[in-house]
Structure 1
Amino acid sequence: MMSLIKRSVSLEGHATSVALEAEFWAALEANARQRRLSLAGLIGEIDSQRGDRPLASALRVWALLHQGLPEG
């Protein structure tokens, strides 16, 4: 069983908590580093485009769609 890691982030001045598996956090962190963004900056970008999808789901889907792909 995979355990969730909960982190707090500030999005548009509001604190929120997100719980994801370690593998998703690692993928998001790696992509943020590659793009020279903070993790909070990347999460903010994803949040602004997620529509009605819950944030944790949007982060997981984004990480899957962008794994190992160069941004450009």
Structure 2
Amino acid sequence: MSNARNKRSLTIAKHRTSVSLEEPFWSALADIAKQDGKSIASLVSEIDTGRGLAADTGEGRTASLSAAIRLYVLARAQGKREPS
């Protein structure tokens, strides 16, 4: 299995950004978005907003959007709604 990251461009918060994730994370993210009735961009926007809220509450902002997405996907795989 390849660990190569795939970079994709999304529009979140009215600006374009690129996110690099391994294919299994892109696939899991797409599945979660579909389950929630959202687009991938919409879900990523929510994850990005959650990073800002964590910083506002003193919990610290995740180092990167890619890392935040991975943690979100992991939390959902473990049956949690959001990472702790």
Q: Which residue of 1 aligns with 2:38?
A: 37
CA RMSD of aligned residues (A): 1.6
* Residue identity opposite 2:76 in structure 1: H
Report whether the alignment pairs 1:3 with 2:4.
yes
Q: Which residue of 1 aligns with 2:13?
A: 12
Q: Which has the higher contact order (CA 8 A, sep 6+)?
A: 1
> What stretches of structure 1 move > 4 A for 4+ residues in a row?
none
- The alignment covers a number of residue pairs equal to 71
Report whether the alignment pairs 1:62 with 2:63.
no
Q: Which residue of 1 aligns with 2:56?
A: none
Report whether the alignment pairs 1:22 with 2:32.
no
Structure 2 unaligned residues grouped into runs of 5+: 53-60
Q: Deviations over 1:31-64 (max 9, x none)?
A: 0000110000100110100132110000000000
Quote the Cα distance in structure 1 between the aligned partners of 2:7 and 2:23: 10
Larger Rg: 2
Q: TM-score, normalised by structure 1?
A: 0.89
Quote the Cα distance in structure 1 between the aligned partners of 2:15 and 2:68: 18
Q: Residue 69 of structure 1: CA displacement?
A: 3.6
SS of the aligned residue for 2:77 comes to coil
Structure 1 unaligned residues grouped into runs of 5+: none
